Structure 1
Amino acid sequence: MSDSDDDPPQLSAAAMAALQEFYTEQADEDRKLKEAQTGKLEDFTPQENWQLSQFWYDEATATRLADEALRVVGSTGRIACVSSPTLYRKLRDVKPDNCTVKCLEFDDRFQVYGEDFQFYDYREPLKLPADWKNSFDIVVVDPPFLNEECLCKTAITVRFLAKDKIILCTGAVMEEVVKKLLNLKVCVFQPRHSNALQNEFRCFTNYDSELLDKS
């Protein structure tokens, strides 16, 4: 055994740079989270957690969906954003004061939004406040996983929350399951994400929407 075998392992320059970048991003996110907790919510922009299947909408998509939701509910309606925190953040910025928007999300980083946040696990689809039953004028939902089990359980949540209108964004491969479970139709508008994804995503509704029926 040579003397060098007793030395601690050394990372390559590329690995060190990648590790440093990771630490820098984590430190920046920790700083933003602390600022959000002290009231600077406009600066709270968490990194996507791919282990939670998180993919944030791009600005154009968040804006289009927010405009449509507000068009439906007006200035005093109720909107539920299920597994769609980037839409919640956009709505928070643009909604009228008397419009209620709730963020139903598994990621507890979004607790910084206080009473607007509701912990949500699609595996327990009805673990929600009892008085939320059929209380939302529109439910906008983006199931975290592209599989039938996730969509089935999320559909239970949607039917519990919605008075009537639903917008659902998910992979195009789920179209037949979406129609079967919730009787939604595909729209012309296609959601896009800030980090380009290989999967084609589509938007579905149970009502006619001029804003979503154009590209």
Structure 2
Amino acid sequence: MLATASHPVPLGSSPEVGLSSAAVSALAQFMADSQALEEMAAAYTAADNLSADKEWSMDAFPELWGMSQFWNDENTARKLARECVSQAKGGTIVLISSPSVFLMLKKMGVPNKLLLLEYDSRFSVFPEFRFYDFARPLSLGGMKEQAAVVLVDPPYVNAECFSKAAQTTRALSGPDTKIIACTGWVVRHCAAETLGVKMINFRPGHAGGLATPFRAYVNYESKNPSFMYDPDPEDGDNDGTAFAGAGGIGTDA
């Protein structure tokens, strides 16, 4: 039997329905998580259709919204790759959280042994891939590589993330290892303290743009003008060039 309301709602009106602030917050988080999962699923589906012997492009690996992924633009990746090869002198090059430069080195066909330490398992199509989580910086699966060059580009621009990635970098470095680090200007003191690196003239660019002053740092003296030490590292990028969306700003061609 159907129940009848003792106080029927007048025709043409509806009862007010409201959500608590906690419910609204939970709903917003659910929608954000759902969007991230949808983007990840689409990206992994696209990667499944690729094979490591194809002509690769970072377009095959769209940046994932929940992973703080900001791929280098092509010019930046090329300049960093060339500097890695120049400094490695035939030795092993390890790329930590830097798939853009790894892919450029692959495209260049360099003879160096390459290793990519990366959290995103889409890159496992490459035999050089090693799963890496910066939250567990010394969980390297027994890998005891002593690299000629380590390029590290942590996913988050903060001291905690950089410090953990620095632990990994040191674990894979010997006394003669050349270190190249890419991170925000605000982390410059942490970079110096943990890896002994200094800021250089070169300013990495990102394909999608990045509204954070981004810089590069090294622990060696380079003959490449772009990779020479910045004479005024404390100027805070007041000229605004670090906000450029692309190009990899430096002084060389």
TM-score where L is the length of structure 2: 0.69
Pairing 1:152–2:163 present? yes
Partner residue of 2:62?
47
Alignment of 1:129-144 (within 5 A): 129-133=141-145, 135-144=146-155
Match of 1:35 among 34, 49, 54: 49
Q: Is the 8 A contact 2:39 2:64 kept in 1?
A: no
1:38, distance to aligned residue in structure 2 (A):
7.0
User: Residues 93 and 187 from structure 1, CA distance in 2 versus in 1: closer, same or farther, beyond 3 angstroms?
Assistant: same
Matched, 1:83 2:94: no
Distance 1:130 1:210, change over 3 A: same
Aligned to 1:122: 134
Name which one, 1 or 2, has greater alpha-carbon Rg. Answer: 2
Contact 1:78–1:136 (8 Å) recurs in 2: yes
- Structure 2 counterpart of 1:94: 108
CA 1:152–1:35 in 2, change beyond 3 Å: closer, same or farther?
same
Cα distance change on mapping 1:72 and 1:38 into 2, 3 Å: closer
Question: One-letter code of the match for 1:120?
Answer: Y
| 2:217 match | 204
Q: Give the distance between the partners of 2:52 and 2:184, measured in 1 at CA.
A: 37
Q: Which amino acid aligns with 1:191?
A: P
Residue equivalent to 1:187:
200
Once the two structures are superposed, what CA deviation does each residue of 1:166-198 show, in whole Å capped at 9, x if it has no partner?
000000000111111111100000001001111
Corresponding position: 1:59 with 2:74 = yes
SS across alignment from 2:93: strand
Q: Deviations over 1:3-43 (max 9, x none)?
A: xx9xxxxxxxxxxxxxxxxx89976x556413323743525
% identical equivalent positions? 34
Contact 1:52-1:144 within 8 A present in 2 as well: yes
Query: By how many angstroms is 1:148 displaced?
Result: 1.4
- Mapped contact 2:40–2:64 kept (Cα < 8 A): no
Deviates more, 1:63-72 or 1:29-38: 29-38
The reply to whether residue 68 of structure 1 matches residue 83 of structure 2 is: yes
Q: 1:126 to 1:33 in 2, by over 3 A?
A: same
**Deviating runs (4+, > 4 A) in structure 1?**
23-27, 29-32
Structure with the higher helix share, 1 or 2: 1
Corresponding pairs, count = 192
Q: Which whole-Å CA distance do the structure 2 matches of 1:24 and 1:176 have between them?
A: 35
Return closer, same or farther for 1:173/1:92 CA change in 2, 3 Å cut-off: same
| Separation in structure 2 between the aligned mates of residue 119 and residue 106 of structure 1, nearest angstrom | 6
Distance 1:108 1:35 in 2: 14
Deviation at 1:209, TM superposition (A): 1.6
TM-score, with length taken from structure 1: 0.80
